[in-house]
Amino acid sequence: MSRIGRKLIPLPAGVKVQIFAAAVEVQGPKGKMSVPLPPGIRFEQKDGALEAHRQSEEHRALHGLARALVANAVHGVTQGFKKELDIVGVGYRAEVKGKTVNFNLGYSRPIEFPIPEGIQITVEKQTHVTVSGADKHQVGQVAADIRSLRPPDPYKQKGVRLTGERLKKKAGKAGVAKTAA
């Protein structure tokens, strides 16, 4: 049996769960999420925890997946998820203006990035961007989209990177030794 699928999902205080045939709805202080369930997987609520069950051994591959998705939804509506990005480069900066974030990343014009529903973006010191929200997938996707505006350069290490991301620096072109004639 799946080790992840067998684990119980504890429900913190203030979290309401509704279980349907094809989905699980989780509501908490940070919002409301609905997680679609694959066929053959069902959930039961017992003693303040959720338990995942599968119909047969054929549904084994989806057992742990469904449990992990529902656990992420419970974590998201209670604590939320957060990704942090750093902007490295002379003159590179960001600022929030209403429902958009303006990035100056060394191009001829600033880039306007619209903030999606359910996501909060904050900018500290013009070079540190924090993306937060209840949906783990959406937070990661928005962070990846922001990083793709100017991925880190392997030579000078300039660009947008995740905080703590390790980059491989490439050596530049080796200079040709000049000989005295």
Query: Model pTM?
Result: 0.83
pLDDT tens for each residue of 135-165: 999 999 999 999 999 999 889 889 998 988 8
Rounded average pLDDT per 10-residue block, the chain, 181 residues:
79 88 89 90 88 86 89 92 92 91 91 92 92 92 92 89 86 70 58
pLDDT at 56: 86
Q: Per the structure block, which two tokens stand in for 10?
A: 């504890």
DSSP state of 139: H
Q: Which of 82, 104, 100 lies closest to 149, judged by CA?
A: 104
Round to whole Å and give the CA distance between 38 and 59: 9
Instruction: Number of helices (H) and strands (E) in the chain: give both, helices first.
Output: 3, 13
Cβ-based neighbour number of residue 21 at 10 Å: 7
Q: What angle do CA 137, 160, 145 make, to 5 degrees?
A: 35
pLDDT at 129: 92
Q: What angle do CA 160, 163, 165 make, to 5 degrees?
A: 85
pLDDT at 59: 84
Round to whole Å and give the CA distance between 42 and 51: 8
pLDDT at 102: 93
pLDDT at 180: 63
Domains and CATH numbers, the chain: 3-78 (3.90.930.12), 81-162 (3.90.930.12)
Task: Label the pairing between strands 100-104 and 93-97.
Answer: antiparallel
Q: Which of 177, 172, 121, 164 lies closest to 146, judged by CA?
A: 121
Q: Helix 60-78 crosses helix 136-147 at what angle (to 10 degrees)?
A: 80
